[in-house]
């Protein structure tokens, strides 16, 4: 189907791109009134190619998504990623040496979320974004220039799958071989956004975590501040504790010592939280009423959280 349209005062033709099951879009071409037969033939080929590109079989899309998930999984396995794996990105639409970001969202149904995200990416013609679902969430690799558009699509997918309360974490800009480190950044950003009840967290806005992302700095902070945390971690390994003491400390510090807010975030009564924090003080030997002690424990927790995660 062809329509004559006027674009900025120029008469043009709008050719409908019709797929097998639905209308896929329009191809608008100017200067067609005096087109010679060869130009008309090229135009028909262009319409056909555009339609085929937009209406690729779902089986082909699924195969590409599976390959992309495998490549992303390999990129996230080690740091730096192997050169042979990085080179595969060029076959998936990424440019050589293109700057990238990693997005992370902890999701209850990562596989379901991945399917919805891929569908939205395809519909928006953002074809060179890769997703990889794991047991606890979804990682997405995107060109740095496309990150805001993909963040919006990911938020829409979370709404559609009933997971609107989940937070999206966005890493800093990295080279492809640094994808694993970027995943750690994105996890940190998502954790911070979740604590602050924000829909999206950006790593470069997390000053403390950004400093501690440097391996040398992180290792030194762990050596100095981690000693204070050791007794607490040892106690939390027992079944009777079940990690509740560490969670209590994190909540208390994250909510600036507000008993009500921290207890509500943990889903416990404030008296229960007070009891657990008292036990934390007993084990560490540090009173949380002292600001310097809170700083030491916060540094210990932050340096521990920046350890790479698979």
* Predicted local confidence at residue 210, as pLDDT: 62
Residue 258 inside a domain? The answer is: yes
CB atoms under 10 Å from CB of 108, counted, come to 12
The H or E element containing residue 11 is: strand 10-18
Which parts of the chain register pLDDT below 50? 306-310
* Predicted local confidence at residue 239, as pLDDT: 62
**Do 47 and 77 share a structural domain?**
no
**Do 67 and 51 share a structural domain?**
no
* Predicted local confidence at residue 223, as pLDDT: 82
Residues 6+ apart with CB under 8 A from 1: 15, 16, 18
Lookup: tokens for 191: 């954790």
Q: Does the predicted TM-score (pTM) go above 0.85?
A: no
Residue with tokens 């047991």: 135
Nearest by Cα to 274 from 248, 246, 241: 248
Residue with tokens 């762990």: 222
* Predicted local confidence at residue 159, as pLDDT: 92
Strands, DSSP E only, in 95-146?
100-106, 130-133, 137-143
Residue 166 inside a domain? The answer is: yes
Cα distance between residue 182 and residue 99, in whole Å: 12
**Do 106 and 33 share a structural domain?**
no
Residue 310 inside a domain? The answer is: no
Residue with tokens 């106690």: 235
The strand order across the sheet containing 137-143 reads 130-133, 137-143, 100-106, 168-170, 200-202
**Do 221 and 166 share a structural domain?**
no
Q: What is the CATH number of the domain that holds 76?
A: 3.30.70.270
Pick the last residue of a domain from 205, 229, 246.
Answer: 205
**Do 159 and 79 share a structural domain?**
yes
**Do 301 and 177 share a structural domain?**
no
Lookup: tokens for 265: 């975030």
Cβ atoms of 192 and 250 within 8 Å: the answer is no
Pick the last residue of a domain from 175, 205, 235.
Answer: 205
Residue with tokens 């067609």: 32
The pLDDT tens digits for 11-35 are 677 766 665 555 556 667 766 555 5
* Helix (H/G/I), strand (E/B), else coil: 136: coil
Nearest by Cα to 137 from 154, 156, 160: 154
Q: Hey, which residues does 141 pair with through a beta bridge?
A: 102, 130
**Ramachandran bin of 170, using left for φ above 0, alpha for ψ from -120 to 50, beta for the remaining angles:** beta
* Predicted local confidence at residue 127, as pLDDT: 60
Domain that holds residue 43: 2-55
Residue 181 inside a domain? The answer is: yes
**Do 7 and 65 share a structural domain?**
no
Pick the last residue of a domain from 141, 171, 205.
Answer: 205
* Predicted local confidence at residue 111, as pLDDT: 87
**Do 158 and 236 share a structural domain?**
no
Lookup: tokens for 222: 């762990």
* Predicted local confidence at residue 308, as pLDDT: 40
Residue 248 inside a domain? The answer is: yes
Q: What is the tally of structural domains in the chain?
A: 3
Give me the helix-helix angle, 110-123 and 147-160, nearest 10°.
130
**Do 163 and 65 share a structural domain?**
yes
Cα distance between residue 219 and residue 224, in whole Å: 9
Cα distance between residue 219 and residue 213, in whole Å: 10
Q: What is the CATH number of the domain that holds 224?
A: 1.10.10.2840
**Do 73 and 199 share a structural domain?**
yes
**Do 178 and 43 share a structural domain?**
no
* Predicted local confidence at residue 71, as pLDDT: 92
Residue 264 inside a domain? The answer is: yes
Cα distance between residue 198 and residue 183, in whole Å: 19
**Do 125 and 154 share a structural domain?**
yes
Residue 210 inside a domain? The answer is: no
């Amino acid at each position: 189907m062809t329509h004559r349209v006027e674009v900025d005062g120029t008469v043009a033709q709008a050719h409908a791109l019709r797929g097998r099951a639905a209308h896929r879009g329009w191809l608008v071409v100017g200067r067609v009134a005096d087109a010679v037969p060869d130009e008309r033939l090229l135009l028909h080929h262009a319409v056909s190619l555009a339609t085929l590109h937009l209406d690729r079989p779902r089986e082909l899309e699924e195969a590409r998504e599976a390959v992309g998930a495998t490549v992303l999984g390999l990129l996230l396995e080690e740091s730096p990623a192997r050169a042979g794996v990085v080179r595969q990105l060029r076959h998936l639409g990424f440019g050589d040496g293109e700057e990238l970001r990693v997005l992370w969202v902890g999701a209850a149904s990562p596989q379901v979320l991945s399917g919805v995200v891929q569908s939205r990416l395809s519909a928006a013609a953002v074809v060179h974004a890769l997703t990889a679902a794991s047991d606890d969430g979804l990682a997405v690799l995107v060109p740095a220039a496309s990150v805001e558009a993909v963040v919006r699509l990911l938020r829409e997918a979370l709404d559609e799958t009933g997971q609107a309360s989940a937070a999206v974490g966005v890493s800093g800009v990295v080279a492809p071989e640094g994808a694993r480190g970027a995943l750690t950044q994105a996890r940190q950003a998502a954790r911070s956004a979740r604590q602050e009840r924000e829909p999206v967290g950006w790593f470069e806005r997390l000053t403390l975590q950004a400093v501690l992302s440097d391996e040398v700095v992180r290792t030194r902070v762990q050596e100095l501040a981690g000693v204070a945390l050791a007794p607490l971690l040892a106690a939390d390994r027992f079944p009777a504790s079940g990690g509740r003491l560490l969670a209590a400390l994190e909540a208390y510090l994250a909510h600036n010592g507000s008993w009500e807010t921290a207890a509500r975030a943990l889903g416990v009564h404030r008296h229960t939280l007070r009891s657990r924090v008292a036990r934390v003080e007993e084990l560490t030997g540090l009173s949380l009423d002292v600001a310097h002690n809170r700083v030491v424990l916060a540094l210990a927790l932050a340096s521990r959280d920046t350890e790479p995660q698979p």
